[in-house]
Structure 1
């Protein structure tokens, strides 16, 4: 069955708008886990717009054996209170590290890696993370020609960037775009890569994505937190998890 990793960035974004410390990122993680989440994802950025290094340290200490997935650009160095992506990961040693090619001025992640260009720089980073027993996932577009390079570089998984799928869902392009993701997942698995998926997945489009055979994990934050505002965080997490459970039973 596909695992659900809940991204807490938007909880932290709301918290950062006041000085009271609420809502608590760690309490949100506890609620998510109590209602079926399999892991927690955070994507700290140098501008500290949402998740802060202190959140990462507190989550790592609290989660124990529960999977922590830290996303980010491995080339981002220290800036103010941000210690640099790799330094943060070295201190925490999460279960999974998802490497994402986002720039500091991006609103959100919006494209996967060009491994023809960046593979040489990524190779020693991937090697170091794996030497620290951290599973490495590379954020990739579904139509990327570089899946074979992801495997050659030593990545354990790829995370398929699903915004194109989300935008096509409910249109006459839905099936065509979905099949692109299904083919990418199949190719990745044939290369020995595990497959994750994330970005703009929601209660409407998740079920179809979850039918992809062997899909290991989905990471969901923005839509889940938006739903939580209407239905409560626990119920929102349980609703997403129920979709994945049903897909696993029907597979």
Structure 2
């Protein structure tokens, strides 16, 4: 069964909107773990509009499950933050400054030398590396050449087409996963996965190890409650 890592960026966004510490980000992370989540994901950005750099240090001190830090490794401050905290996993995402949310994977062919350099740097510190990629076999091949431990499949396109033709929508992801398995890469996935499309995705992606879910899960929790929502997502992965 794939692990569920809860992305708590949206909790930080809500907290920051009033300038105080309500909701308490650390408490929410610990509660997610207590409710069954098997990991906590954060994606700090330079403007700290949600996750603040200090949050990463605060979370690292208490997280008992797997801690995953996502971000743009072209930002030296991000690199320093990861190396200072040594999470279980760093996910390299090709964001640009001011980007609302991640919207594409790395061109691992064009950026292969750079990604190899960054992968080596983080692995030398004992951190597992995952590279954010689109479901394109050639990009999987080039990611493997970088020496990365895992890839994270960018699932927005799957989610967008799921309700019109889920069988067609998942095909490139199955092909990408099969290639990753052949190359010995671990497989993560994330972006727009939710209670409607998660179970089908997990059932059809061979070797899926982890999903990172934030926006949909936190949105569902407004209606369903956080504890119930975390456990509902876990059931989707199990079923």
Aligned to 2:70: 71
Residue 184 (structure 1) aligned with residue 183 (structure 2): no
Please report how far the alpha carbon of residue 10 of structure 1 lies from its aligned counterpart in structure 2 after TM superposition. Answer: 0.2
How high is the TM-score relative to the length of structure 2? 0.97
In 2, distance between residues paired with 1:144 and 1:57? 36
Q: Displacement, 1:144?
A: 5.0
- Per the alignment, residue 80 of structure 1 pairs with none
The alignment partner of 2:211 has SS state of strand
Secondary structure of residue in 2 paired with 1:154: coil
**Which secondary structure state, in structure 2, belongs to the residue aligned with residue 169 of structure 1?**
helix
Pairwise CA RMSD:
0.9
The residue number in structure 2 matching 1:111 is 104
The residue aligned with 2:39 is 39
Instruction: Give 1:130 deviation, angstroms.
Output: 0.6
* Runs of 5+ unmatched residues, structure 2: none
Q: Which stretches of structure 1, 4 residues or more, deviate above 4 A after TM superposition?
A: none
1:90-239 matched pairs, under 5 angstroms: 90-143=83-136, 145-172=138-165, 174-211=166-203, 212-239=205-232
Alignment partner of 2:118: what SS? Answer: helix
CA offset at residue 148 of structure 1? 1.2
Deviation of 1:20 (Å)? 2.2
- CA deviations over 1:142-168 (Å, ceiling 9, x no partner): 125221111111000000000000000
Q: Which runs of 5+ in 1 are unaligned?
A: 78-83, 247-251
Q: Alignment length, in residue pairs?
A: 238
Matched, 1:51 2:64: no
Alpha carbons 2:137, 2:175 under 8 Å: kept: no
Q: Distance in 2 between matches of 1:149 and 1:181?
A: 16
CA displacement at 1:72 relative to structure 2? 0.3
Q: Distance in 1 between matches of 2:133 and 2:25?
A: 28
Map Cα deviations across residues 118-156 of structure 1 (whole Å, 9 max, x no partner).
111222111011111100000000125221111111000
Distance 2:238 2:169 in 1: 24
Partner Cα distance (1:123, 1:190) in 2: 20
Could you tell me how far apart the structure 1 residues matched to 2:56 and 2:124 are? 21
Cα deviations by residue, 1:154-204 (Å, 9 ceiling, x for unpaired): 0000000000000001103x2112011111111011011000000000000
**Equivalent position SS for 1:225:** helix
- Aligned residue number for residue 10 of structure 2: 10
Residue aligned with 2:62, SS: helix
